[in-house]
Amino acid sequence: MLEDWIQARLKVDATSQIPARVAYADFCHRARAIDIEPCTETRFGRDFSARIVELGGIKVKRRDRAYYYGVSLAAQNLRVPLAAEQLRNGSTLGAMGDRRAKQATHAYEGDASA
């Protein structure tokens, strides 16, 4: 599971850092999303601390917090709520009526004839 999380969620970036707790929370969120019980925070810290060196990073403890330097969390794939196809067929704009839906579709596609 750790390797899957690294591949899916981390981006190697020498100028970035992640607080260890944020990394663990993201790991837990991903594990639970696929119905896997995540390991403990201690186990995650030990395993990831060993693995981050292979990625060119390092774990750094500062005062009362730990950070992983050399990696950042990759952006989540965000879905655009109104896709062009939905606008074309009016499925999300049904409450607006046909005329307004067509106007919005043309405006979205850059058609000035609406």
Q: What is the pLDDT of residue 90?
A: 53
Q: Are residues 30 and 69 in the same domain?
A: yes
Q: Are residues 97 and 61 in the same domain?
A: no
Q: Are residues 61 and 17 in the same domain?
A: yes
Domain that holds residue 27: 2-73
> CB under 8 Å to 72, separation ≥6 — which residues?
10, 11, 13, 16, 17, 18
Q: Are residues 55 and 99 in the same domain?
A: no
Measured from the Cβ of residue 77, the count of other Cβ atoms closer than 10 Å reads 5
Q: Are residues 62 and 86 in the same domain?
A: no
> CB under 8 Å to 4, separation ≥6 — which residues?
30
Count of domains for the chain: 2
The neighbouring-strand residues paired with 12 are 71
Q: What is the pLDDT of residue 70?
A: 94
Going residue by residue through the chain, which has 114 residues, state the pLDDT in tens, using 9 for 90 and above: 899 999 999 999 899 999 999 999 999 999 999 999 999 999 999 999 999 999 999 999 998 899 999 999 987 544 444 444 444 555 444 444 445 444 444 444 444 444
